[in-house]
Structure 1
Amino acid sequence: MAIFALVDCNNFYASCERLFQPHLRGRPVVILSNNDGCVIARSDEAKSLGILMGTPAFKIRQLIKAHDIAVCSSNYALYGDISERVMRVLGESAPNQEIYSIDECFLDLDRLSVPNLTQWCRNLRHQTMQWTGIPVSIGIGPTKTLAKLANRLAKKSVRESGVLNFMDDPIRIDTALRETSIGDVWGIGRRWTQKLEERGIHTAHDFANAPDAWVRQCMGVVGLRTVHELRGIACHALADQPAPKQTTCYTRTFGTAIYDKMQIQDAVTCFTEQAAAKLRKTGQVAGAVQLFIQTDPFARNVPKKSVSGLTTLDRPTSNTRAIATAVTQIFDRIWQDGYGWRKAGVHLFDLSAPDQIAPSLLDVIETPNDSLMKAVDHINTRYGRGAARMGFASKNAAWQMQQAHVSPRFTTKWAEIPAVRMM
């Protein structure tokens, strides 16, 4: 029988903020989205105050003041680095690992020879906390879907001490299924929740006992796999190697509407650099590029516009210069004066490995490791994103994100490493 564990970092963004700021522990904390727009993460204390995900920051100003809520701008440099540390600790402890998101991973414990699996997971939880400072919860089950459910219950139960093992008590699975709403089942989105509830399926237990033929007809093979997983039949194996991406992109919303052409052009050049860097990191090349710019669709009494353009590259590449040249040509073609542009993005399509491209007699397909791009990536890795770039924007450029409450990059920038003063 397969044995999966789902390890999830507790309130990950808030935990990262508290890691180097002990004064935030025990205090309500909310993390805001790009440009400090909406709440994207909350500590348990903030959740208990009724703050919901996606709430606009301006709507909770009085609540923030009344309850002394700590407000933090999103700091993805810090979160990404801490995530890598946590995943490294977990990956070195188990035979196989699948990193599912920035704060979650599946572990394959089937071949783990230990006398007490629950205790082993408790030790792993303690070790992760000790080595990284990030609290985690662990759910164990015979399928990935049940491991996900066990993890959700482990977070809610004080008695479980952060670890819930369905393998120890199979009867507990039936109880858990009856107590879990259909909308809380992994893979069941809002649209399917509504449709299933209309058909009288309100809990995970109801869904697990639905007729296979009906599920297959209404939801296809994906829905049927979820049903089988809830029954304890493993349908999803561990994906220790992520599937190659088909597209990659870099998009941002500006802190304010921008009318200046040079400002927007510098922004899209920066976005191109980031998209190309992501491409090289995965060892791929792109065959086509798309650029879009748009105004604020929710702004009142201002003209609205959304324009885009796509072009096929002369040859598949991950070279920033080649992609930026194509983006500049698109930009000149689609630009229109008189609009306050609020968002822009660069999408790269037709991704493939360099060795999958048939070379022609007229050119040579470059690799992601061409010397100049490799040097640029090395500089930006060592000195921080944007240390080497093609644009000319300063930190105070109008298109840069608004981050009024951003914390230091404690682990990735020398100038922002915490200092200890000796008395």
Structure 2
Amino acid sequence: MPAQLPTGDPAPADGRLPGPARDRVGDRPLGIYVHVPFCAARCGYCDFNTYTPREAGGGDATEAYVRAAIAETRLAAQVLGERRPPARTVHVGGGTPTLLSPAQLGRILDAVRDEIGVAAGAEITVEANPESVEAASLAALREAGVDRISLGMQSAAPHVLATLDRAHTPGRAEAAAREARAAGFTVVGLDLILGTPGETDEDWARTVDAALATGPDRLSVYALTVEPGTALAARVRRGAVPAPDPDAAARRYEHADAALAAAGLHWYEVANWSTGPATRSTHNHGYWMGDDWWGIGPGAHSHVAGVRWWNVLRPASHARALAEGRSPAAGREVLDEESRRVERVMLELRLVEGLPATVLHPAGRAAAERAAAAGLLDGRALRERDRCVLTLPGRLVADALTRDLVD
């Protein structure tokens, strides 16, 4: 089943922003996210808004998507108006963006450049499954202006990949990373998943070692979450596989943090490490810092000047709305100050720079003092810089700690 949309107010047919938001366009950096909703097959753990090309209508489903994405790019330029800054980042995710051809992806990127504008030196990233790229297609993506690639390695253990329903074979992700480097990508990143049922500590150690052997510039580590409605959730429910073990997940996170630090990659967000500031994901940093972004594609979410909206889920509905001259937004909400404060606590706390303690209410400040005493926050940073900065033990319980601090 595809992802579910949140509830909210109706979105205007022309996509127009409320007056106060229009006046603040350009106050924050702008990122563009392009959601490509296609996958060759749906992984059992995934609850993203994805479809096989056949589910999306078959035939020219991908070409219809490209036309709709370009049309939404034009809409974005109209709605954001003359105050819009050029995009600082363009991130193409999914799904599996590389199920589109490099030429199709290039047309979408060209539309973003022509309609919205892209800043000089902008970060342009494409996500890819290892089996969906090869040397020639990577070279073509680089020629189209993509300078960063994020490869979904997930694991080096065959049985773990099988449990996750991943299509690539062990070793393919590492080979794709080397091919991307040879193609001239300036940042090559890998994504890993820890805590899959059946994974052992030894499996995880081998996965981390294999990822580091490629010399990545950036590496993401996500603990497996069993999302309701997924095939994996059904398997756990009927006892076919065990639920993820939180103690094992914590142990493996600590192993990854130590191994990555020894290799010169240091954490900059709870689930992300890089070789330095230049190789961090500026696009994701924009999300964490409450910047503006426009999400293109079915199910994509956007945020501009405190207004959040989300597109219809299905590719055909998304394309139909744009063909009829309507916004594909299914709903939206205007965030009040307290909602924005809560989101700031939730997101900025995850960063290595931490969260200004001035954002906290008195109860949250008291919780921060307790967390520092317990070793979950850096006590010196709180005392001397008035910032809430997670320690390694704090990163392991970041979600629970966030709930304490938002009070």
TM-score by length of 1: 0.25
With CA pairs under 8 Å and 6+ residues apart, which has the higher RCO, 1 or 2?
Answer: 2
Higher-Rg structure is 1
